[in-house]
Amino acid sequence: MNKDKVSFFPVGNGDTVLFELDGKTVLTDINHRKSSEEDSSEDYDIRQDIKDACRVGDRYELDIFVCTHPDKDHISGTKDLFHLGDPSTYNPKSGKILVKEIWCSQYCIEPNYDTEDSKPILNEIKRRNKKVSSSDGNSLLVMSVEDTPNGELTDNLKWKLLAPTKDEANIPKAEDKETPNSSNDSSIVIRWEYISNSESSYILLGGDAGVNVWERIRKDFKDEELSWSILLAPHHCSRKCIARKEKDEKYIYSDGALNALSKIDKNCDGFIVCSSKEVKDDADNPPSYEAKQKYLGILKEHKSFEYKERFINTAVNDNGKPGKVVFEFDEKGFNKKNTKMQKEQVNRTPFTYG
């Protein structure tokens, strides 16, 4: 019997989070990169890990795919990994995964633009939206704080939606020939609750939601609704989630956003996972070295013991190399497991910056 666990995969500046909890498989975002892509210094076959979790007899089935927003680093690989189209045409021999249900925001139904990376999953979402069916492979849940505030997959696996509101999912369209407006603030933000032996653990996943969203979340929700045991640092540890850039190019940190992200559950030490390339003391953003210091401060204030070790960067989790971060759950709570990934044998193409 497989252990209940949550895995954060090393996918550079991107997200791929897999829940295997209480008999359910939930994948939040995917960034399956090709070796020629930017920041792809190490290549791992995340596909096999995901397929192994989804194996049901001679086929592959994923209970839920959560598309927080349709940026490349959150949806790359959907065409290669998932069966897209009517489930009646699904062929188990294809090796692809049948996604029973997709969760997304209204923005994915009416995006301002699409790309070669986002078209496959956005077209699938639109197909399901027209189909209006709850059957496996056709089911779609369009989420907003107003319409889908909370729910449960099982008695032991529950969720609360913190974002987006309908307004946040309504991203204005840019004028012709202007740079498209970012979809980051349409991100789905969910606090998951997993109950084991009457003890709750909380996992907070926030996509790329920005500082305005986190300030609104702080105003709208109580402390106990924001508490977490494991936090995925939003937007790959970007400053833009917790600070605003002023005219002089300096960032001013937001007390409200930082407060919203600081509610570690009193019954645990608290872990922050940074899904990004290696965080270095440089000008990159994301990941931001300054933002990392803010998150370390949150961990230290809660419990100073080994607080630096409780901030985990996927890019260096395997003895300085990329490694997935896995938390296993049992009747006593959860523990971080030391793991190694399966390395994909590929020939790399050098990536040249413009």
pLDDT in tens, 258-267: 999 999 999 9
Identify the band that residue 249 occupies on the pLDDT scale cut at 50, 70 and 90: confident
Give the list of residues 6+ apart from residue 182 with CB closer than 8 angstroms, or none: 171
Question: Per the domain annotation, does 346 fall within a domain?
Answer: no
Q: Percent of the chain beyond pLDDT 70?
A: 92
Which pLDDT value is given to residue 39? 52
**221 has a pLDDT exceeding 60:** yes
Residue 232 located in a structural domain: yes
d(C-alpha 315, C-alpha 324), whole Å: 9
Q: Which residue stretches of 165-318 are H helix?
A: 166-169, 211-220, 223-226, 255-260, 289-302
Q: Which domain holds residue 221?
A: 4-337
Distance CA 115, CA 213 (A): 25
Question: Please, are residues 301 and 340 in contact by the beta-carbon 8 Å criterion?
Answer: no
Residue 344, both tokens: 């994909």
Report, in angstroms and rounded to the nearest whole number, the Rg of the chain calculated over CA atoms: 19
Above 90 in pLDDT, residue 321? Answer: yes
157, 193 contact by CB (below 8 A): yes
**Angle CA(65)–CA(172)–CA(103) in degrees, nearest 5?**
10
We report the CATH number of the domain holding residue 175 as 3.60.15.10
The rounded mean pLDDT for the chain is 91
| Of 314, 272, 327, residue with least CA distance to 295 | 272
pTM score > 0.85 for this model?
yes
Q: Which two tokens stand for residue 68?
A: 């927080």
Best-predicted range by mean pLDDT among 38-52, 229-243, 336-350?
229-243
Residue 317 counted as domain residue: yes
Give a yes or no: residue 352 inside a domain: no
Asked if 292 and 279 touch (Cβ cutoff 8 Å), the reply is: yes
What sign has the CA pseudo-torsion 334, 339, 342, 348? positive
Please write the tens of the pLDDT for every residue from 322-331.
999 999 998 8
pLDDT at 87 over 60: yes
The answer to whether residue 349 is domain-embedded is no
141 found inside a domain: yes
Q: Across-strand partners of 200? A: 195
pLDDT given for residue 179 in this prediction: 86
CA neighbor of 167 nearest in space, from 189, 182, 145, 190: 145
How many domains does the structure of the chain reveal? 1
pLDDT at 41 over 90: no
Beta bridge partners of 143: 105
Residue 354 domain-assigned (yes or no)? no
Q: Note the pLDDT of residue 83.
A: 98
Distance, in Å, from the CA atom of 273 to the CA atom of 323, rounded to the nearest integer, reads 12
340 CB contacts (<8 Å, ≥6 apart)?
Answer: 318, 323
| Helix runs in 157-206, H state only | 166-169
H/E run at residue 153 = strand 150-154
Which runs of consecutive H residues, i.e. helices, occur in 277-334?
289-302
Q: What angle (nearest 5°) sits at the alpha carbon of residue 8, between those of residues 72 and 238? A: 55
Identity of the amino acid at 249: E
Q: Is residue 350 domain-resident?
A: no
The average pLDDT across 43-47 equals: 78
The answer on pLDDT for 345 being more than 70 is: no
